[in-house]
């Protein structure tokens, strides 16, 4: 673990200068500067004083953060084949995130589930084919390369009235699929 860099990150996140941290921790500015550049190491007592001044503690400071993944491939997708459509959850565990993307595949005559009114927003991009968005009593046809953006205040769904399959990248915030 790069202790000096982690201390510098915490200090800057708190908006403190080296001088302010020195005053709060009762250590010298020079010592803290050397520490942040990994030119010296703190004693346990000094580190405890620094962390207290930064609003944290030894246990939290040394807790290893999970490396967060941000790139996913087909092997990470979860696929749910339903009678009317196939849903590919293309980012794992998105229920803990603020938005949820899916890749929706609709065969001939296929239809998505009906989305009930909610407080979020949705975005869709027709990756391939042609679909009909039914929203608020209106039907809108979208073809490859076209998008939709809507507030989730109404019942809505997507259908494929074409003979060829269609694919839609559909993103909801908050997660609702």
Helix (H, G, I), strand (E, B) or coil at 29: helix
Q: Are 111 and 159 in contact (CB under 8 A)?
A: yes
Give tens-digit pLDDT for 51-97.
Answer: 999 999 999 898 876 667 889 998 889 999 998 999 999 998 877 78
The phi, psi pair for 152, rounded to 5°, reads: -80, 35
Task: Check which CATH number belongs to the domain holding 58 and give it.
Answer: 1.10.260.40
**Helix runs in the chain, H state only:** 3-13, 18-25, 29-36, 44-53, 58-62
Cα–Cα distance for residue pair 65/83, rounded to 1 Å:
41
Domain of 20 in residue numbering reads as 3-62
68 is a domain residue: no
The answer on 138 and 102 residing in a single domain is yes
- Which residue among 15, 32, 62 closes a domain? 62
User: Which tokens sit at 14?
Assistant: 């708190």
DSSP secondary-structure letter at 165? -
User: Which tokens sit at 53?
Assistant: 């001044």
Name the domain count of the chain.
2
Give tens-digit pLDDT for 130-174.
Answer: 999 999 889 999 999 999 999 989 999 999 999 999 999 999 998
The answer on 105 and 50 residing in a single domain is no
Whether the per-residue pLDDT at 34 is higher than 90: the answer is yes
Q: Residue 3: which H helix or E strand, with range? A: helix 3-13
| Sheet of strand 130-135: strand arrangement | 138-143, 130-135, 156-159
């Amino acid at each position: 673990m790069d202790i000096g860099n982690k201390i510098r990150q915490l200090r800057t996140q708190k908006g403190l200068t080296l001088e302010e941290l020195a005053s709060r921790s009762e250590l010298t500015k020079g010592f803290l500067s050397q520490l942040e550049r990994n030119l010296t190491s703190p004693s346990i007592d000094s580190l405890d004083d620094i962390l207290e001044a930064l609003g944290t503690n030894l246990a939290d400071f040394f807790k290893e953060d999970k490396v967060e993944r941000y790139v996913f491939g087909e092997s990470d997708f979860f696929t749910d084949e339903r009678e009317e459509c196939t849903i590919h959850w293309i980012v794992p565990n998105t229920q803990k995130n603020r938005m949820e993307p899916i890749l929706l595949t609709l065969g001939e005559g296929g239809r998505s589930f009906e989305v009930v009114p909610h407080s979020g927003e949705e975005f869709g991009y027709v990756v391939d084919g042609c679909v009909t968005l039914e929203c608020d009593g209106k039907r809108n046809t979208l073809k490859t390369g076209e998008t939709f953006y809507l507030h989730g205040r109404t019942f809505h769904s997507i259908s494929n009235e074409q003979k060829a399959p269609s694919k839609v990248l559909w993103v909801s915030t908050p997660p609702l699929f």
